[in-house]
């Protein structure tokens, strides 16, 4: 993996975290990669759906129902966006 790819992935992760923090009205410090949306970040199912829609809009990607069901943590969301942008 090149330095450019690592820097790009860091930027993607930072932007995903910014989006999550803004949508859930949290500080960026609260939005850690291992944090779960419902338990750690206290998002209800509607807030999670709105968050996923915001990520789709921000990064111009689309998540399938299966991908949405599998996204439970901040890191899951980061990896989803990275995969979508890489394809």
Would you say residue 13 has pLDDT above 50?
Answer: yes
CATH code: domain of residue 29: 1.10.1200.10
Q: How confident is the model at residue 7 (pLDDT cuts 50, 70, 90)?
A: low
Are 82 and 20 a contacting pair, CB within 8 Å?
no
- Lookup: tokens for 85: 């942008």
**Cα(80)–Cα(61) distance, integer angstroms:** 9
Integer CA distances (angstroms), 10 to 39, 54, 71, in order: 25, 19, 19
Residue 2's pLDDT is 46
The length of the chain is: 87
- pLDDT tens digit string along 39-87? 999 999 999 999 999 999 999 999 999 999 999 999 999 999 999 998 8
DSSP string, 10-22: HHHHHHHHHHHHH
- Clarify whether 76 is annotated catalytic: no
Q: Which of 44, 60, 65, 69 is catalytic?
A: 44
Considering its fold, how many domains does the chain have in total? 1
Residue 12's pLDDT is 94
Residue 87's pLDDT is 83
Q: Which residue range is the domain that position 52 belongs to?
A: 3-86
């Amino acid at each position: 993996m090149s330095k450019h790819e690592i820097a790009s992935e860091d930027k993607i992760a930072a932007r995903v975290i910014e989006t999550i923090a803004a949508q859930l009205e949290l500080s960026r410090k609260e939005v850690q990669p291992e944090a779960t949306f419902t338990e750690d970040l206290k998002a209800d199912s509607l807030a999670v759906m709105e968050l996923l829609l915001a990520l789709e809009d921000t990064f111009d990607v689309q998540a399938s129902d299966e991908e949405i069901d599998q996204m439970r943590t901040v890191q899951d969301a980061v990896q989803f966006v990275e995969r979508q942008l890489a394809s």
